[in-house]
Structure 1
């Protein structure tokens, strides 16, 4: 498929994990990708894309910095003549701990700056440019942690709940523009962010425990998120707007229960 032939696409957080997998998927389907990340590993992503015959440029930047985001959008316009799609994916956890009473306002502010203000800035600067091209799509990375408690630290969860509401309010404010704005809500996905969890499980011989609370009983892979993101960015999702799509193996489909066993068939 070449769903993104000649499309100008920005992906933040493209240096690893979901961002890298999605940047590669966009490029494999014909997109011209501006891959951005705070880490220099973004250039490895570009190397992977070009080795596969795709088109990409790497940019080191801070997704929570207004000047950096504006410069990123300007770079995409200069290189590709405009912008069609943005995947605002960059985010941080702030650590795997982080309850209300063992964190501080400074750490909360940093998490909100990157995870929530970052997507806001991407929408602020990219949406008008996408409208100039006749419309397109913005996808922001939220999380199942933003849907309900129990999937992440409190500060991280609050920031991702904000992203879910951000795409809804932004979609409304872009009424009539043909710019669709949606979110993806990953569950437990094997990325650089969750590497300590997966490594610990492997070392302890308990990898099967990862994802045991969802109906598929496994963790997810970045490529599975890439499939969801590229769907939302494509014309296949032309009537999907202002939504938060959970990609979590079914985890968020239920409240916690003590037992979840099928009834024995009658004999």
Structure 2
């Protein structure tokens, strides 16, 4: 398949996890990929793409910094003549503290990266995409943005904002032929969640990972990347303003262990 032949694609948080899997997959299907990450891991991903015969350029950015996002967009312009697709995937977890133990500065940083980052991707990416005749923006949200029980207060609030941002952006881009959707992963083995996976496996409890969803397992990044590519492709030409959940069925009930106020969950 070559769904992205000749298309210019920016992927943020592309140095690992879902972003890396998506960048590699976009390139394998003919895309010209800007591999953006806050670490130098993006350079290794771009090199791997080139070694496989694909086209990629790496850039080190902070996805929540407006100047950095503009630099990434400018690289797409200079290297590939414009921009057709953005996968705004970069994010941070913010830990697992409850509301009362969470520092305000931490919430601010989580919102800056997880919510302002996608906002900036839309603000600076959508006009470029529209100028090329249309395309797609995919934002990484989370099942934690749907309801409680799947993430910390800071992370959950940021991802709820991403889901709403996709809907608002889709409406405000009416007539532009630019589609905006949110991808909502469940438990996925990425750089962010690897400590959880490693801890469970080291304790001999790897089989309990993802046990609350009907498939009874966590996801691999490639499983999420495939859905991101679908949303970015012409196959999803009539999908717009939606939150697409990929969680093994977890959110069909979202079971949780509840914590009483002032007590520790057991």
Q: TM-score, normalised by structure 1?
A: 0.95
Match of residue 51 from structure 1: 51
CA positional deviation for 1:257: 8.1
Q: Over residues 180-213 of structure 1, what are the superposed CA-to-partner deviations in whole Å (9 max), with x where a residue is unaligned?
A: 0001000000000001100011101111100100
Q: Structure 2: where are the runs of 5+ without partners?
A: 258-266
Give ranges in structure 1 of 5+ residues lacking alignment. Answer: 259-267
Please provide the CA RMSD for this pair. Answer: 1.0
| Residue matched to 2:216 | 217
Q: 1:256, 1:248 → 2: CA distance?
A: 13
SS at match of 2:187: coil
- The list of structure 1 runs, each at least 4 consecutive aligned residues, that deviate by more than 3 angstroms after superposition, is none
Q: Report what 1:187 is aligned to.
A: 186
> Aligned equivalents of 1:135 and 1:176: distance in 2?
10
Map 1:22-61; keep pairs closer than 5 Å.
Answer: 22-61=22-61
Q: Tell me the matched-pair count.
A: 257
Three-state SS of the structure 1 residue aligned to 2:59 is: strand
In 1: Cα distance, 2:247 partner to 2:94 partner: 21
SS of residue in 2 equivalent to 1:101? helix
Q: CA deviation at 1:256?
A: 2.6
Residues of 2 paired with 1:216 and 1:133: CA distance?
A: 41
User: Quick check: 1:239 aligned with 2:238?
Assistant: yes
User: Structure 1 residues 178 and 198 mapped into 2: Cα distance closer, same or farther (>3 Å)?
Assistant: same
Task: Determine the structure 2 residue equivalent to 1:261.
Answer: none
Q: Does 1:11 align with 2:7?
A: no
Alignment of 1:106-185 (within 5 A): 106-185=105-184
